[in-house]
Amino acid sequence: MKKNLVIAVWFTLVTTVLFGLVYPLVITGLSQALFPDKANGQLIERNGKLVGSRIIGQNFTGPGYFHSRSSAAGSGYDPTASGGSFLGPTNKVLLERVKADVQKDHAENPSQAVPIDLVTASGSGLDPEISPAAAEFQVPRVARERRMSETEVRTLVEKHTLGRQLGFLGEPRVRVLELNLDLDASHPQK
């Protein structure tokens, strides 16, 4: 009995050290050596100042910016409270919010249907990307506010549009933060 207890204690100590210390340190070291940008959150800096992350959405509200998807994370775009609203498709609160968002967006661009991702939140509430249709919907407003031609804005949208991964996984998407940073660099708001 005593021998079994000693073996169990040693086994617990060895596995704790191996899988609780050695393994995490090795994986962390490998990720830092092989993929430092990804291991550190894909942070974006401009002029020595941290402005965001490629993988966490931000709230852009100004008329001269492309707007991200709605966020249900905390008070909005709070990475410590990531998660959906858990409101079902027949929930009155969700239906009223979506209806109000559709009316607001439709007033901005009455000649086009409002893309679904502009009025619905993502599962995480932190999507850094929108669909090309959502970006196209916003082109006239951004062009007007930035005093640019719609063609110039569409060119920037195309530059920041990512295709399907491996050619068949997922959907094409536009990175909102990088697009807005590019707009600020090339055509600052007055």
Give the start-to-end residue ranges of the domains of the chain: 1-40, 41-186
Average pLDDT for 126-135: 92
What is residue 75's predicted lDDT score, i.e. its pLDDT?
Answer: 67
* CB proximity list for 56: less than 8 A, separation 6 or greater: 41, 77, 79, 126, 128
Residue 138 has pLDDT above 90, yes or no: yes
Cα separation, 169 vs 165, in Å, equals 5
Mean pLDDT, rounded, for 68-83: 76
Nearest CA among 101, 40, 33 for reference residue 67: 101
pTM for this model (two decimals)? 0.79
Q: Please answer whether residues 164 and 39 qualify as being in contact, where contact means their C-beta atoms are separated by less than 8 angstroms.
A: no
**What are 22-49's pLDDT values in tens digits?**
999 999 999 999 998 888 889 888 888 9
Can you say how many angstroms the Cα of residue 41 is from the centroid of all Cα atoms in its chain? 12
Confidence of residue 74 (pLDDT cuts 50, 70, 90): low
> Helix H segments across the chain?
2-17, 23-34, 36-39, 92-108, 132-146, 150-159, 176-186
According to the model, what pLDDT value does residue 56 have?
Answer: 85
For residue 95, the Cα-to-chain-centroid distance in whole angstroms is: 23
